Chains A and B, each alone.
Chain A
Amino acid sequence: MQTRKKYIFLTFLASWLLLLFFGGDQLRHLAFFSGRKAEARRNWPHWTDRSLLKSFADPEELQRDGDPSLLSPRQRRAAWLSVYGSSRCRMETCFDFSRCERHGFKVFTYPQERGQPISETYGKILSSIERSRYHTLNPEEACLFILSIDTLDRDHLSGQYVRNVDEKIRGFPLWNGGRNHLIFNLYSGTWPSYTGDLGFDIGQAMLAKASFDTESFRPGFDVSIPLFSKDHPQRGGARGWLYHDSVPPKKKYLLVFKGKRYLTGIGSGTRNALHHIHNGKDIISLTTCKHGKDWEKHKDTRCDKDNVDYERFDYQELLHNSTFCIVPRGRRLGSFRFLEALQAACIPVLLSDGWELPFAEAIDWGKAAVMGSERLLLQIPSAVRCIHPERVLAFQQQTQVLWDAYFSSVDKIVHTTLEIIKDRLSPYRSRSRFLWNSLPGGLLVLPDFSTYLGDFPFYYLQHGYSPSKKFTALIRAVSQAGSLSQPILRLIRAVSGSQYCAQIVVLWSCEKPPPPSGKWPQTTVPLTIIQGRRKLSDRFFPFEAIHTDAVLSLNEDTSLSTSEVDFAFLAWRSFPERIVGFPTQSHFWDPEQGRWGYTSKWTNELSIVLTAAAFYHRYYHSLFTEYLPVGLRELVDGLAACEDILMNVLVAAVTKLPPIKVTQRKQHKEVVAQQAECRDGAAGTPPPGQRSPSAPHSAPAEVKGTAGSRRFSQRQDCLNQLADWFGHMPLMSSQLRLDPVLFKDQVSVLRKKYPSLEK
């Protein structure tokens, strides 16, 4: 110890001597420096006459702003049309808004021509559009046109390259110089420069293109889409891989990359440097030069060793186990890797300078990805290490939000493209950036419903709102008798007794006219009768009469007490985005039959709340009616009892959460026979005994065998058809029920707020 100390002391002394010797002069400088720094940074001077300085513009000049008579606005706009064409197109110069005025936003796809092969991917895009609620078969009412020519792959070396597009387009009578057309493209240009050139004149058409570069992107006009593979699912799509928010959000690797290294040509600058950041521990950056036909010709000294390392790691394994994934440019700016990383909740670290990110008009990528710079590759490791764990957790979750909202299927990518364009048509009735970037995502938020965030069930907490303190009871009446049945009278009395009830709306779904107003019971709350169209989907129509956030959906034969309603409503206020109700059912996967099963038996789980007695947000009426395609509602109207399953599936698809069951005094009314349907209904309405969505095994003995089981199998079919349409089974199961805090506790009844629920 002693010797070491001496040694160190000597070194220390020697160093200082050296320092004084060489740096004595500079030391004074140093003192000068720090001294000056401490007292006077050379700031911008405080001029003595600063208060006498003139303003940058005379107030008059500011308010009058030039000579107004110069150019009339109309002439100016007309002049723009000729100046700002093709490469400088904007909505106001190259898009004909008038086409969208009369029929709204309708999209027409050109009919496919015989002998005109289209790629699988383009087929998916076209069918997504055809499945959209904006699709029209009539070009007269169309606002936007989509070609039937496959323009996805414009690399003329590719097998799917379509020739003579110019000629073909000129033959289309609807082409009109490309006005109001949208052209999809995934690959443009070819070796060696991979430019954005499509090989034909797009005229005034909008371009929805992958790998868009910011320079050729026409802001507010084109749409940048992600690159996706031909295996990308048409609809639904797999969910993201983040199953839990692990804390600390640490995975095996910090940063990974595994991919090709280009030795020459465009993109090689970045790809050729990636191996520098590999440290073999938490940063894995593997490249291979083994690609293309003549790789051995260009191979350099690294290649052989790199290739060995490259084979040692599995791409999927890296994707699953890393916090960050490098997403560098390839030959083109975008890559498949981008969506793969997003799905894997591996935070993309973008190294693709000048890439107009997918849907950047709507999506705030700063919340889900790290924008690296190709020029600063070597800073990336330290930059990502410095990101706070909370931020990492937020990034990971946001990748999943975006993946699920906009990217997980071709449907979502195409519909997002359409919605972005639709939002431009009426900027005053469009989604704010906030909406696009928070749950449940822009596609599920309809600006036509409202532009006020507080009108939706999703943003209460984020904006400090709370749902309205009252509810609207919506009773669907189907009594065939001219008079009112006892159950409905009881129900109206019970519901109107709730202190939270704002109004009662009766949806009269029977051919016979409703009884005159004198026959209805006197209630303290307003009672409105609406004549329905006698369709099952009717009960979820966004009636204007409903003006509270909460809707209590009821069947006329539902039996509820005032306390049940009160308790359930208060529970709903804690979960305004979910369905909160009384009788429940559940779904399950039937491995034997390979399909979804459904049961109304008592089980330990629940996933469907019957809308015969349930609270939910009125926005779901709009989603049900406006968002779901007509086909689905027709399916529901055609089946006997499927509308409530569809509602549950819809809400589950939106929230990704199970519904909530609340305490019920006694079991939901078991026997529903005589009044379940207008017996003399027109053709197409289901036969008797099949209407009430209450427990399926509850029909009286004589119908149980036939109608009951048919109804049951129809519900099961319905469930499977819906799962197919959504592309997955959105329903989630819950194992709990909400009871009053003192429910069945051994404490005096007098202390309990809801004693009657325990009977």
Chain B
Amino acid sequence: IMCASAKYNTRGPALIPRMKTKHRIYYITLFSVVLLGLIATGMFQFWPHSIESSSDWTVEKRSVHDVPVVKLPADSPIPERGDLSCRMHTCFDVYRCGFNPKNKIKVYIYSLKKYVDEYGTSVSNTISREYNELLTAISDSEFYTDDVNRACLFVPSIDVLNQNALRIKETAQALAQLSRWDRGTNHLLFNMLPGGPPDFNTALDVPRDRALLAGGGFSTWTYRQGYDVSIPVYSPLSGEVDLPERGPGPRRYFILSSQMALHPEYRLELEALQAENGESVLILDKCTNLSDGVPAVRKRCYKNQVFDYPQVLQESTFCVVLRGARLGQAVLSDVLQAGCVPVIIADSYILPFSEVLDWKRASVVIPEEKMPEMYSILQSIPQRQIEEMQRQARWFWEAYFRSMKAIALATLQIINDRIYPYAAISYEEWNDPPAVKWSSVSNPLFLPLIPPQSQGFTAVVLTYDRVESLFRVITEVSKVPSLSKLLVVWNNQNKNPPEDSLWPKIRVPLKVVRTAENKLSNRFFPYDEIETEAVLAIDDDIIMLTSDELQFGYEVWREFPDRLVGYPGRLHLWDHEMNKWKYESEWTNEVSMVLTGAAFYHKYFNYLYTYKMPGDIKNWVDAHMNCEDIAMNFLVANVTGKSVIKVTPRKKFKCPECTAIDGLSLDQTHMVERSECINKFASVFGTMPLKVVEHRADPVLYKDDFPEKLKSFPNIGSL
């Protein structure tokens, strides 16, 4: 099975290489090459010769007027009308798409032809600028294939963007004679201006049988949920006018209406609003007396005042987008571009890309009946939310409206997500603007759970050769009631661990893992031997923690399973003189890190540390043999957005026979190096994720005037 996912290595780094398989692998490879060669040859022998005459394509420099002409006989077949009951599972042939490791659909584009009727009159304009851009975008994308046999989706080159620019019956005939038409199965048509006078249908009137329609201006009655795609009406002004993004905040007008051909009834209602609320409402109309040469589409007027369009949209907080004869309006694109919050008044309208975009975050939808209440409805929206909507509106334009390319790719992605739902793009990826993606966190352990105590924790002791001290740590830790397993990571390749008989006899399983290289990251490897969620990372010289303190640490971790819960705390500070971060291990009132010489955390973070550490941090730490704990603090804080929890009072971390953490930390060069780590990591993460807090966790009755023997954790803080 080919998975797109990189499989996690479930074994430790200390794997002993399997010697004898080497030759076998060689043979197997050899055989496979031969076999594959044979199969490939066979396939080509019997494969239908699919390459259509390549003459259409050979000439690279060509005009659209040179494309082949196809004459449609008057009696050539017409497809059925669109089938309203079509859904992906009834009208779409998924077998064409297949299971593929990249989870990408393949899209084929028919070559361009000019269609004429019996009398030689053309059926439509050959191709519009926008449709050409759209097809170019598809062709340049990952979705594209030039092999009609491998295609899952077919895009005709017949331009149906604007229904008014084509002859309906003949266009339908042209569709029907496409080489793979097959009742329109897996064919995708793009249409932005559907319908025509007098009743303006909300979907393309061209009979199209089972073809999917990416349409601008669907109503809930014509839109086939989960089959069609609702797209924007592209505004060519997007390409012509450059409106720089404007910071959110109050603007000159509160409500602006800029549409020219509003129905008089709507205009009356808007004017009533203006009369009521004065100058904060601006209702623009077309200009009647413009001098020659000024394009009418770029000006708007109110009484005698002339405004530039679309620039004027940036002057207002809210911009009205009313339906016209059609539901979809190009003005929506202009409004979004201006970072103005659209107020959409078009009952039954299916908003563009509504299958994936959360329009409530970028717009206000008001039922037509409620137009008179528009002002008060908009007034009730909190200012901070308006600012967010402005930002969101602009982001929607930039990502999904600004070009035909953006529209085409979003459409294909939506269809792709339906076919490979388990690889679909998430809500957040579709909707969160880059600023939010950057500043927000999505905690991988988001469900509030207090894991059962019975599970216990696994202590992972990293050791090199301090056997005596190690044995003392093992003996001490084994006294903790909730310990369920002890794992010794033997990081010394030159020396064998002591014989089995020499190890302390403890009540829980003890496993020794030998590593292949003396690397600090070995301590954070997600060993299969760790079967509990909770991991206690502990150095081989931490013998001063009492059983009560460790057990209490575990209980605290259970209440905060997504955090680092540790004993010695540390702080990062901004050094104003040096203009950089500084590491602090003095007695401070604040903490932002805990040392992993003694800390509880969720095993999940071992995965993150080993496989998802940003940049080169992991290798850097291994190379410098320092700061693995700071890296872990950064990683956890960055992914959860939460602070560490320091437990229990400060102790002197000293022991007679070893250099303790504190002892070592006092070393000046060590301190400088630790500060360097913080600066290095902050630049790799692109931010300072660590959170500073002023609290630590103690048992409820710590130091309270209460009989010690009734306390759950009496032996806390003893020196």
- Name A residues whose Cβ lies closer than 8 Å to a Cβ of B: 8, 11-12, 15-16, 18-19, 22-23, 26-27, 29-30, 41-50, 53-57, 59-74, 77, 80, 84, 88, 90, 92, 97, 214-215, 219-220, 242-248, 353-354, 364, 366-367, 370-371, 373-376, 379, 382-390, 393-394, 397, 400-401, 427-434, 437, 439, 450-455, 461-464, 567, 570-571, 574, 584, 602-606, 655-658, 661-662, 732, 734-747, 751-754
**Chain A residues, CB < 8 A from B417:** 366
**Chain B residues, CB < 8 A from A397:** 445-447
**Chain A residues, CB < 8 A from B234:** 56
B367-A454 in contact (CB<8A):
no
B144-A461 in contact (CB<8A):
no
Separation of A287 and B411 alpha carbons in the complex (Å): 40
Nearest opposing residue in chain B for A427, CB measure: B365
B180 to chain A, nearest CB (A): 16
B658 at the interface (CB under 8 A from A): no
Nearest opposing residue in chain A for B420, CB measure: A383
B652 to chain A, nearest CB (A): 9
**Chain A residues, CB < 8 A from B441:** 461-462, 464
B697-A248 in contact (CB<8A):
no
Separation of A63 and B335 alpha carbons in the complex (Å): 13
B60-A661 in contact (CB<8A):
no
Separation of A73 and B99 alpha carbons in the complex (Å): 48
B426 at the interface (CB under 8 A from A): yes
17 contacts between A and B (CB under 8 A): A42-B57, A43-B139, A55-B236, A60-B296, A66-B197, A245-B447, A245-B602, A247-B533, A353-B89, A366-B427, A371-B421, A393-B444, A394-B444, A451-B360, A464-B438, A739-B698, A741-B569
Which one of B10, B54, B87, B717 lies within 8 Å of A42 (CB-CB)?
B54
B700 at the interface (CB under 8 A from A): yes
Chain B residues with a Cβ closer than 8 Å to the other chain, count:
174
**Chain B residues, CB < 8 A from A214:** 87, 225-226
**Chain B residues, CB < 8 A from A70:** 197-198, 200, 325
A63-B30 CB under 8 A given contacts A27-B41, A430-B360, A753-B589: no
Separation of A745 and B586 alpha carbons in the complex (Å): 13
A433 to chain B, nearest CB (A): 5
B693 at the interface (CB under 8 A from A): yes
Nearest opposing residue in chain A for B135, CB measure: A44
Separation of A732 and B558 alpha carbons in the complex (Å): 12
**Chain A residues, CB < 8 A from B64:** 47, 49-50, 53
A461-B587 in contact (CB<8A):
no
Separation of A248 and B128 alpha carbons in the complex (Å): 53
Closest 3 CB pairs of A and B: A66-B325, A464-B439, A23-B41
Nearest opposing residue in chain B for A378, CB measure: B99
Nearest opposing residue in chain B for A249, CB measure: B604
B348 at the interface (CB under 8 A from A): yes
**Chain A residues, CB < 8 A from B422:** 370-371, 383-384, 386-387
**Chain B residues, CB < 8 A from A63:** 259-261, 297, 330-331
Which one of B31, B125, B367, B559 lies within 8 Å of A734 (CB-CB)?
B559
A747 to chain B, nearest CB (A): 5
Stretch from B157-165, B480-488, B675-683 contacting the other chain: B157-165
Which one of B347, B439, B649, B717 lies within 8 Å of A77 (CB-CB)?
B347
B336 to chain A, nearest CB (A): 15
Separation of A520 and B329 alpha carbons in the complex (Å): 60
B87-A354 in contact (CB<8A):
yes
Separation of A250 and B684 alpha carbons in the complex (Å): 32
B620 at the interface (CB under 8 A from A): no
Stretch from B469-477, B513-521, B638-646 contacting the other chain: B638-646
B703 at the interface (CB under 8 A from A): yes
B659 at the interface (CB under 8 A from A): no
B99-A383 in contact (CB<8A):
yes
**Chain A residues, CB < 8 A from B388:** 452
User: Which of B197, B422, B555, B641 gathers most chain A CB within 10 Å?
Assistant: B422
**Chain A residues, CB < 8 A from B602:** 245, 247
User: Which of B61, B265, B367 gathers most chain A CB within 10 Å?
Assistant: B367
User: Which of A65, A248, A386, A453 gathers most chain B CB within 10 Å?
Assistant: A65
**Chain B residues, CB < 8 A from A12:** 30, 34
Which one of B165, B382, B452 lies within 8 Å of A450 (CB-CB)?
B382
**Chain B residues, CB < 8 A from A661:** 700
Which one of B94, B297, B526 lies within 8 Å of A375 (CB-CB)?
B94
A562 to chain B, nearest CB (A): 15
Separation of A547 and B650 alpha carbons in the complex (Å): 39
Nearest opposing residue in chain A for B383, CB measure: A452
Separation of A464 and B433 alpha carbons in the complex (Å): 12
B85 at the interface (CB under 8 A from A): yes
B4 at the interface (CB under 8 A from A): yes
A658-B37 in contact (CB<8A):
no
Additional 4 contacts, C-beta under 8 A, given A401-B447, A752-B589: A242-B447, A245-B451, A462-B441, A753-B694
Separation of A12 and B26 alpha carbons in the complex (Å): 13
**Chain B residues, CB < 8 A from A657:** 448, 450, 559
A72 to chain B, nearest CB (A): 5
B112 at the interface (CB under 8 A from A): yes
B381 to chain A, nearest CB (A): 7
**Chain A residues, CB < 8 A from B266:** 73
B324-A66 in contact (CB<8A):
yes
B299 to chain A, nearest CB (A): 11
**Chain A residues, CB < 8 A from B243:** none
A246 to chain B, nearest CB (A): 6
**Chain A residues, CB < 8 A from B8:** 248, 389
B363 to chain A, nearest CB (A): 9
Separation of A742 and B161 alpha carbons in the complex (Å): 70
Stretch from B498-506, B666-674, B704-712 contacting the other chain: B704-712
A582 to chain B, nearest CB (A): 12
B360-A433 in contact (CB<8A):
yes
**Chain B residues, CB < 8 A from A746:** 719
**Chain A residues, CB < 8 A from B40:** 30
**Chain B residues, CB < 8 A from A462:** 440-442
Separation of A714 and B314 alpha carbons in the complex (Å): 61
B136 at the interface (CB under 8 A from A): yes
**Chain A residues, CB < 8 A from B16:** none
Which one of B30, B533, B640, B649 lies within 8 Å of A245 (CB-CB)?
B533
**Chain A residues, CB < 8 A from B1:** 382, 385-386
Separation of A663 and B458 alpha carbons in the complex (Å): 31
A67-B698 CB under 8 A given contacts A8-B30, A397-B446: no
B96 to chain A, nearest CB (A): 12
B574 at the interface (CB under 8 A from A): no
B373 to chain A, nearest CB (A): 10
A354-B90 CB under 8 A given contacts A72-B265, A379-B99: yes
A604-B440 in contact (CB<8A):
no
Separation of A546 and B233 alpha carbons in the complex (Å): 45
Chain B, 414-448, CB within 8 A of any chain A CB: 417, 421-422, 424, 426-427, 431, 436, 438-448
Separation of A88 and B220 alpha carbons in the complex (Å): 9
B297-A60 in contact (CB<8A):
yes
**Chain A residues, CB < 8 A from B448:** 439, 655-657
B18 at the interface (CB under 8 A from A): no
**Chain A residues, CB < 8 A from B149:** none
A609 to chain B, nearest CB (A): 12
Separation of A40 and B435 alpha carbons in the complex (Å): 39
Nearest opposing residue in chain B for A604, CB measure: B712
B112-A55 in contact (CB<8A):
no
B524 to chain A, nearest CB (A): 13
B384-A751 in contact (CB<8A):
no
A15-B38 in contact (CB<8A):
yes
Query: Contact mask B568-590 → A, CB, 8 Å, 1/0?
Result: 01000000000000000001111
Which one of A92, A373, A382, A736 lies within 8 Å of B367 (CB-CB)?
A92
A389-B607 CB under 8 A given contacts A56-B129, A62-B236: yes
A66-B702 CB under 8 A given contacts A56-B162, A97-B367, A382-B99: no
Separation of A255 and B323 alpha carbons in the complex (Å): 49
B132-A367 in contact (CB<8A):
no
B601 to chain A, nearest CB (A): 11
